[in-house]
Amino acid sequence: MWPDLSISGPISPSTAKDSHHHYFHAAGSTSDRRSTHPAPESSVFRSARYLEGKEEVIQAWYMDDIEGDQRLPHHREPKQFVSIDRLSELGVLSWRLNADDYENDEALKKIREARGYSYLDICEVCQEKLPNYETKIKNFFEEHLHIDEEIRYCVEGSGRFFLFEGYFDVRDENDQWIRVAVNKGGMIVLPAGIYHRFTLDTNNYIKTLRLFVGEPVWTPHNRPVDHLPARKEYLDALQKKTAGGQAVEAH
């Protein structure tokens, strides 16, 4: 979702822990960007040391229809929270990782290896560091999809207690908005073809790792683009999930 910014680099993941550059990159083929690697229930993910308490850094709820500041929570009344398992049914995967040591985190390394995330860089979204900030924040909030996964790992925020750093809004199968709030330590994967948008919360700051299979393509396809193969494949996967009771695998 975020454009390719001017970031220092590149360095290899093997030397990242010894560097202060805000950019990592590993060689990867662009012939097939979509990851066909296993979902986190597989043995490779069970063997990694992920942190418990995922709901402390990732929460979700159905949004109201009230216009106003997009950075506010926009809960329905009464509040209607959405579970992590429900997000998984929509293809939205998530982890809680150690953001204080992301450069050396074996759990993150396991995820990258298993899902083929060969590209990684760091992006800070705030008025002081993002060129054309107001325009880009507006563009991020336009409903769109990507033909590849969108992977974001929040490694730093404002540090204000009880506030999240960013909101990733996704559409459910009934076209209702679900707001996915992510804080430091939360990593999410939005599947290709899902309609979504992004905004900061009132902290107005987030620092994330952006991951990708092969060379990154940040192109957003603003709704309506139901003719795109990625959209059709996502809807087909949702229908199969409904029929078979299986979660949609992010790919």
Residues making up the binding site for Fe(2+): 144, 146, 150, 196
Binding residues for Ni(2+): 144, 146, 150, 196
8 A C-beta contact, residue 177 and residue 62: yes
Binding residues: 144, 146, 150, 196
Angstrom CA distances, 151 to 66, 67, 72, 118, 154, stand at: 28, 28, 23, 12, 10
Q: Is 205 exposed, middle or buried (0-12, 13-18, 19+ CB in 10 A)?
A: buried
Give residue 1's identity as a one-letter amino acid code: M
Phi, psi of 136 (to 5 degrees): -70, -40
Task: Report how far residue 101's alpha carbon sits from residue 138's, in angstroms, rounded to the nearest whole number.
Answer: 32
Task: Report how far residue 214's alpha carbon sits from residue 33's, in angstroms, rounded to the nearest whole number.
Answer: 6
Task: Report how far residue 237's alpha carbon sits from residue 2's, in angstroms, rounded to the nearest whole number.
Answer: 26
Phi, psi of 101 (to 5 degrees): -145, 45
- Token pair of 182, please? 């992510």
Neighbour count for residue 14 (Cβ, 10 Å)? 9
Q: 72: part of which helix (H) or strand (E)?
A: none
Task: Report how far residue 155's alpha carbon sits from residue 211's, in angstroms, rounded to the nearest whole number.
Answer: 13
